[in-house]
Amino acid sequence: TLTAGFLKLLLLFLLCLAPPAKAADAVRLSDVPAGLLGLHAEQLVEGDSALTLDEALAQLQSGAFKPVAMPVPDFGIGSNPVWLHLALENDTREAQPRKLLAGVTWLDRLELYVVHADGSRHAVHTGDELPDAPGLTPGMGYVLPLQLPPGRSDLLLRVASVDPMALPLELMTAEDYASHRLQFSYFYGFFFGFMIALGAYNLLLYTGTRERSYLYYALALLSVLFCNVAYTGHGADWLWPHSPDFQRYVILVSMVVYNVLGLLFASRFLMLAHYLPRTQRVVCWSMGLAVGGMLLALLLGSQLLAGSLAFVSTGAFTAGMFVLGLVSAWRQRPSARYFLLATFFGMLGVGLTAMSVWGKIPFSLFTFHAAEIGLLIEATLLALALAHWMRQHREARYLAEQVARQDALTQLNNRRAFQEAAQLLVDTSTRHDRPLSLVMMDIDHFKSINDRYGHKTGDEALVAVANMLKRMSRSSDVVARWGGEEFILLLPETGLQQAVNHAERLRRAVSELRIPAGDGVLSMTASFGIATRSAAMSLEELIHEADMQLYQAKQSGRDRVCSTPSPERACPTPLPRLLLR
Q: Catalytic residue positions?
A: 485
Task: Report the DSSP beta bridge partners of residue 516.
Answer: 521
Within 13 A of 339's CA, how many CA atoms are on the CB side? 30
Q: Give the closest residue to 564 by CA, choosing from 578, 541, 573.
A: 541
* Count of helices and strands (H, E) across the chain: 17, 18
276 contacts 166 by C-beta, under 8 angstroms: no
User: 31 exposed, middle or buried (CB, 10 Å; 0-12, 13-18, 19+)?
Assistant: exposed
Q: What is the DSSP string of 252-318?
A: HHHHHHHHHHHHHHHHHHTTHHHH-HHHHHHHHHHHHHHHHHHHHHHHHT-HHHHHHHHHHHHHHHH
Beta-carbon count within 10 A of 573 CB: 7
Please give the distance of CA 481 from its chain centroid, rounded to a whole number: 45
Q: Give the closest residue to 347 by CA, choosing from 317, 313, 310.
A: 317
CA angle 452–453–454, rounded 5-degree value: 105
Task: Report the DSSP beta bridge partners of residue 580.
Answer: 522
Q: Which letter, b or e, does each residue of 231-257 get, where b requires 16 or more Cβ atoms within 10 Å of its Cβ? A: bbbbbbbeeeeeebeebbbbbbbbbbb
Task: Report the DSSP beta bridge partners of residue 67.
Answer: 42
In degrees rounded to 5, what are phi and psi of residue 489? -135, 130
Strand-strand pairing, 82-90 and 27-28: parallel
Phi-psi region of 233 (alpha: psi -120 to 50; beta: other; left: phi over 0): left
- Residues listed for the chain: 581
27/89 Cα distance (integer angstroms): 6
Q: Give the closest residue to 136 by CA, choosing from 176, 178, 108, 171.
A: 108
